[in-house]
């Protein structure tokens, strides 16, 4: 891939993740090329790459648009993520270093500060939450798991789930992180596995509730 293609990929992916390009939105090569300040060829390459990663889809006329997942597709993605990330947590309990555990504690403390503000800092929560789960995945010491999980964790609809959380859900997420830390400190893989499974399943139900509310209101449930 050329540098121009990489730049187009990064920018378009960022616009999808931020919600600037909403689910179902058409992706016009000319407009994207202008936004990314590249020619149409790098944009075409970037769209193919994003399609392979399930960020982009094509319709019957081969026009590209931002992937708009059904609730059934989302449930499957969360189910797979729960299975894989729970396994990662179980491995991590036996392999995590004390330095990594201390780093997780520090991040979760920062998460609590971010969500305890008068208006919870959701972008900061998302970034810290990503760091928290990334350390767990690194500590599991499985390249295969990392490769499989990265796509699921980075799906735009998964990242948007936190934007549907109220303060109660955010605090519950923080508490579940605390329970994971306790399981890791005890080197209890079964406990860590169970907590991670419920952690991801609850995230799905928060997303599903928001999706249903959006449908009832006549809005797109994926909107951030």
pLDDT recorded at residue 11: 92
Give the up-direction half-sphere exposure of residue 214: CA atoms within 13 A in the CB hemisphere: 15
The model's pTM is 0.75
**143 Cβ partners below 8 Å, 6+ apart?**
none
The pair of structure tokens assigned to 74 is 């989302």
Around Cβ 87, how many Cβ atoms within 10 Å?
19
pLDDT recorded at residue 12: 93
pLDDT recorded at residue 122: 83
Judge if 3-66 and 71-216 fold alike in CATH terms.
no
Fold for the domain defined by 3-66: Arc Repressor Mutant, subunit A (1.10.10)
pLDDT recorded at residue 215: 59
Give the up-direction half-sphere exposure of residue 157: CA atoms within 13 A in the CB hemisphere: 30
DSSP letter (8 states) at residue 24: T
For 124, 130, 160, the CA distances from 117, given in Å and listed in that order, are 11, 19, 20
CB burial of residue 70 (10 Å; 0-12, 13-18, 19+): exposed
Q: What is the pLDDT along the chain (224 residues), one digit of tens a residue?
A: 578 999 999 999 888 876 788 888 999 999 999 999 999 999 999 999 998 877 899 988 889 999 877 788 888 888 999 999 999 999 999 999 999 999 999 999 999 999 999 999 887 888 899 899 999 999 999 999 998 887 666 655 555 555 566 788 899 999 999 999 999 999 999 999 999 999 999 988 887 887 677 655 544 433 22
Q: Which CATH superfamily is domain 71-216 in?
A: GntR ligand-binding domain-like (1.20.120.530)
Residue ranges per domain, the chain?
A: 3-66, 71-216
- Measured in whole angstroms, how far is the alpha carbon of residue 214 from the centre of its chain? 20
pLDDT recorded at residue 72: 85
């Amino acid at each position: 891939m050329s540098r121009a293609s990489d730049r187009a990929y990064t920018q378009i992916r960022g616009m999808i993740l931020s919600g600037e390009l909403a689910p179902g939105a058409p992706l016009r090569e000319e407009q994207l090329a202008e936004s990314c300040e590249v020619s149409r060829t790098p944009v075409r390459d970037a769209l193919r790459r994003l399609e392979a990663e399930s960020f982009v889809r094509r319709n019957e006329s081969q026009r590209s648009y931002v992937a708009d997942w059904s609730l059934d597709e989302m449930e499957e993605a969360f189910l797979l993520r729960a299975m894989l990330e729970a396994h990662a947590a179980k491995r991590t309990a036996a392999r995590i270093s004390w330095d990594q555990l201390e780093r997780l504690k520090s991040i979760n403390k920062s998460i609590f500060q971010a969500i305890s503000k008068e208006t919870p800092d959701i972008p900061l929560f998302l970034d810290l939450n990503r760091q928290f789960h990334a350390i767990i995945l690194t500590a599991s010491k499985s390249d295969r798991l990392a490769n499989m999980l990265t796509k699921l964790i980075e799906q735009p609809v998964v990242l948007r789930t936190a934007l549907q959380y109220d303060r109660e859900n955010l605090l519950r997420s923080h508490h579940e992180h605390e329970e994971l830390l306790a399981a890791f400190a005890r080197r209890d893989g079964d406990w860590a596995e169970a907590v991670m499974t419920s952690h991801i399943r609850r995230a799905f139900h928060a997303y599903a509730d928001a999706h249903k509310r959006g449908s009832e209101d006549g809005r797109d449930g994926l909107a951030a």
